[in-house]
Amino acid sequence: MKTTPATLDEMIEDAEELRGLGLLSDEDVSQIATRISASEYRKRVAAVHDMTGLEIKLMRKQYGLSQALLAYTLGMTVDSVSKWERGEIKPSGPALRILNTLSAKGPDAFVV
């Protein structure tokens, strides 16, 4: 007999049913729902990929940004951007996430 895996919505329904039978607590159901929500979120968020100094420079130039303006957008120093582009240092995780977003969506993603 071949079965298909339950969808995430079905898993929540099953947990609710088990709570109704007194087999799971409200806290258990809440934890299940939180884990399912986190799993769905991870699927929607793009993975962070490393960027070389050349990729950073080309992306910056593509959007017409100076090193100073890129540094301002990232909340970093011009010296950091310069060192990234020369390959002396690599961007940290949070800066890399912002660089990935900037590369994918352009500078307007940061305009409020």
Q: Are residues 40 and 79 in the same domain?
A: no
Contact 90, 84 (CB under 8 A): yes
Q: In this structure, what CATH number is given to the domain that contains residue 84?
A: 1.10.260.40
Range of the domain at 76: 53-110
Residue 33 included in any domain: yes
Residue 3 included in any domain: no
Q: Are residues 36 and 73 in the same domain?
A: no
Can you state the percent helix, strand and coil of the chain, rounding each to 5?
70, 0, 30
- The set of long-range contacts for 60-66, using a CB threshold of 8 Å and a minimum separation of 24, is 60/85, 63/102, 63/106, 63/107, 65/107
pLDDT in tens, 36-48: 888 888 887 778 9
**Predicted model pTM:** 0.66
pLDDT in tens, 65-96: 999 999 999 999 999 999 999 999 999 889 99
Residue 99 included in any domain: yes
